[in-house]
Amino acid sequence: MPYTSRLRNFPADHFQNRELGILAFNRRVLAQAQDERMPLLERLRFLCIVSSNLDEFFEIRVAGLKEHMRVRASGGSIDGLSAEESLASISAAAHDLVTAQYQLFNEVLLPALASEGIRFWRRSKWTEAQREWIRSYFWREVAPVLTPIGLDPFHPFPRVLNKSLNFAVELEGKDAFGRNSGAAIVQAPRILPRIIRLPDEVADAAHGFVFLSSVLHAFVCELFTGMTVLGCYQFRITRNSDLWVDEEEVTNLRATLQGELSQRHFGDAVRLEVADNCSPVMAQFLLEQFGLQERDLYRVHGPVNLVRLMQVPDWVDRPDLKFTPLLPGLPKNLGKMKSIFDTIRQGDILLHHPYQSFTPVIDLLQQAAKDPKVLAIKMTVYRTGTDSELMESLIRAAQNGKEVTVVLELMARFDEEANIGWANRLEEVGAHVVYGVVGYKVHAKAILIVRREEGGLSRYAHLGTGNYHPRTARLYTDFGLLTNNEEITHDVSEVFKQLTGLGKALTLKHVLQAPFTLQTSIIDAIRREAEAARAGKPARIIAKMNALLEPQTIEALYEASQAGVNIDLVVRGVCALRPGVAGLSGNIRVRSVIGRFLEHHRIFYFLASGKELVYLSSADWMDRNFFRRIELAFPILDPKLKKRVITEGLRFYLRDNQLSWMMDEQGKYQRKHPHRSREFSAQNTLLQSLSKGEIT
């Protein structure tokens, strides 16, 4: 690629391990499930989030390390560990995390839920009425779609789908054909629910549930007539799910990607989860079948897939056991005019999600789709979901004769299929669909609208830190800017020209763009603060992001710290920088905020001799964002809005002593506590100040 990280050989002890940092983040998420101050059903949800995160961690990060070893690739991580050393450390930390998860689930959450009338009935506790209903359910709904597979030379071990529920059955005796293989596999089709709600008449609780795994365990013997079932063990295999497409070789990216998607379920195995009662012989047999080692085996006391419990809070009508719903607010000026274009012309509008509604972004596209003055709409799409009002508006706009251009990232991990579907629908109505630039993911979040107005054509833009996904806009913290500023919208227009056409990258007036100017501009801004500090002037850097990994940027921060710059970093997830190291990073503090909402906005603040430069961005400070993605960082020019970003997005988080964790030089995190200061939560404060109030 023409743009790659210009790495030097920095000392390995300057950096933390990326994979261990991801696991440490999930420890902090698990702490939310452990926190008795949290509503009970939300604690269950946090437990499920940890499992979901671990699934992706194994599918992508662990899979990548195993592939690194398989091809004998040279080099290791920036902290100096080889792939083999990283895998060994990961295994120990991940096993500890999973043990803590299931201990919390069994010893704390299940009893607490039961005390609230939410029961997950184990087989040993079924009443006779429950057993009869479950038996009937098994024969009516489950048995007809099962295909038990006996293992013998004519029936080899079946292909097992990624993250599917399966059962290994140990048998004794001969079947109708005189076969005695001693083992069989029963695969649970994905159409079957993993959690079954019991009807009120047999639930024996306000809300009664049984796991599909319990149902199959109870009646699996009836699938093997005349044979003795010696053991039945649920298991789940996690596979490499990272798609690889040589974009420079393919002639049709969409068609090639569609072919690859079908194989995602059958990538190389990376993790085996089994029930804790699985016999050593069967566990070893399964490891051999999937080419895994003992360290890849995770024995769990309970369902092998806790993610499926995520739906339970939605099934249970107990508002007292959940977060109180919120009604997002709106900036006051947005409620005064019917035309959103008139409102934006009067001044930039800053939206702080989820505390403020995502509706203005939807309204922008809906109005543009039917406004006869609108000539063209351009938009980048990374993640938007399978059901999107925004995409429907683009389709209507194209049907209404607007010039619609969508730069749609087909390689957005785990959203590839949804994005292919939108590409098909958009092209059917005549929209221009562009898949970005070969070798780079388009991760920028931008909308550009061209409108004919008195005096000529005018441009409007939306720029954001988060995806155009209305559902996650209610769960993730993000900023969005609606602007009619001529210089900003000109920059955005130039970016779209690059993405859809050919030509040299022009210098933009305000917007920083990866892979061209973003990383170098950030490092230059850091170095200017260092120069100010050396000259005895005030110097300050505050940055908030999801991840901090890029070595050059970290080294620049170290140099600034040594120069005397006061630096605060709010990094939700993995951070490779080591804060508080004497002589290296003594002036740097790193904190992570984990709460009800997923912290997602990226904000970069530099004192800049009192000018206070503030950028919002779609990019974290990572190699991939700086050098292998198309990203934007845009300044907040309006003084009032700049003050809002500094206060709401940065200073509130530096004050937080409820949801904040401080990182030490070894990568360990300690939760902050009020001590003598008053309790302060950034998220709760923003809920109270920006939302319309809580719905009771």
pLDDT tens-digit readout, 390-409: 999 999 999 999 999 999 88
Residue 659 reports pLDDT greater than 60? yes
From 14, 443, 462, 600, the catalytic residue: 443
Residue 94 reports pLDDT greater than 80? yes
Strand partners, 237: 272
Q: Which of 21-30, 145-154, 186-195, 281-290 has the lowest mean pLDDT?
A: 145-154
Query: Does an H or E element contain 625, and which?
Result: helix 623-627
Q: How far is CA 436 from the centre of its chain?
A: 22
Q: d(Cα 48, Cα 454) in Å, to the nearest integer?
A: 54
Q: d(Cα 627, Cα 520) in Å, to the nearest integer?
A: 11
What lies within 8 Å, CB to CB, of 255 at 6+ separation is none
Q: d(Cα 196, Cα 212) in Å, to the nearest integer?
A: 7
Q: What average pLDDT score do residues 449-457 get?
A: 94
* Pairing mode, strands 588-593 and 566-571: parallel
Query: Domains of the chain (ranges plus CATH)?
Result: 12-321 (3.30.1840.10), 332-502 (3.30.870.10), 513-690 (3.30.870.10)
- What would you report as the CA-atom Rg of the chain, rounded to the nearest whole angstrom? 27
> The tokens of 202 are what?
């047999």
Q: Please say whether the beta carbons of 181 and 227 come within 8 A.
A: no
Say whether the peptide bond before residue 551 is cis (omega within 30 degrees of 0).
no
Q: What is the pLDDT of residues 527-584, one digit of tens each?
A: 999 999 999 999 999 999 999 999 999 999 999 999 999 999 999 999 999 999 999 9
Q: What is the pLDDT of residues 598-639, one digit of tens each?
A: 999 999 999 999 999 999 999 999 999 999 999 999 999 999
> The tokens of 307 are what?
């993610």
Reply yes or no on whether 353 is catalytic.
no
Predicted pLDDT of residue 412:
54
Predicted pLDDT of residue 153:
56
Residue 506 reports pLDDT greater than 80? no
Q: Which of 238-252, 281-295, 509-523 has the lowest mean pLDDT?
A: 238-252
| Angle, in degrees to the nearest 10, between helices 389-399 and 416-428 | 20
Predicted pLDDT of residue 415:
62
Distances (CA, A) of 454 to 340, 488, 662: 17, 20, 54
Query: Does an H or E element contain 66, and which?
Result: helix 63-70
Distances (CA, A) of 155 to 282, 283, 363: 17, 20, 57
The pTM (predicted TM-score) of the whole model is: 0.92
Q: d(Cα 593, Cα 654) in Å, to the nearest integer?
A: 10
Q: Please say whether the beta carbons of 55 and 162 come within 8 A.
A: no
Q: What average pLDDT score do residues 154-159 get?
A: 78
